[in-house]
Amino acid sequence: MKLDELVAMLSEVGFPGGPPEQTTFAEIEAFGHQMGRLVSQTLDQAITQQHAEHFEQRQACPTCAHVCDEEGQPHQLDLQTQDGEVSLNEPTYRCPTCKRAFFPSA
């Protein structure tokens, strides 16, 4: 199973060749929590970017329903999760009809 492979790789990072005899459970637990937060944050980042890709096509203006193209560079939004900060590059739109700016994922 892929999860078992990930666990083995992370274990080797924290305790190459296995934990030394004098390692306490508290140290093992702290390392587990640290790796869990890292995996969670990385997973949140990857899935958030995948989700944002749904909004990279033309979008209807929420005010007047005019179909708009993405405008310029994406807006970077930093999201604070339980396990750390995740950055989202959110596409920006400006409606030529009613002049409203909007972010479709909002």
pLDDT in tens, 36-94: 999 999 999 999 888 877 777 888 999 999 999 888 778 888 989 898 888 888 888 88
Q: What are phi and psi of 79, to 5 degrees?
A: -105, 135
Q: What is the spatial distance between Cα 60 and Cα 74, in angstroms, rounded to a whole number?
A: 17
For the chain, give every domain's residue range: 2-13+23-102
Q: What is the spatial distance between Cα 53 and Cα 3, in angstroms, rounded to a whole number?
A: 26
Residue 104 has pLDDT above 80, yes or no: no
What is the model's pLDDT at position 20? 96
Q: What is the spatial distance between Cα 29 and Cα 22, in angstroms, rounded to a whole number?
A: 14
Predicted TM-score of the model (pTM):
0.69
CA distances from 37 to 3, 44, 86 (A): 15, 10, 12
Provide the pLDDT confidence category of residue 106 given band limits of 50, 70 and 90. low
Element (H, E) at 37: helix 25-52
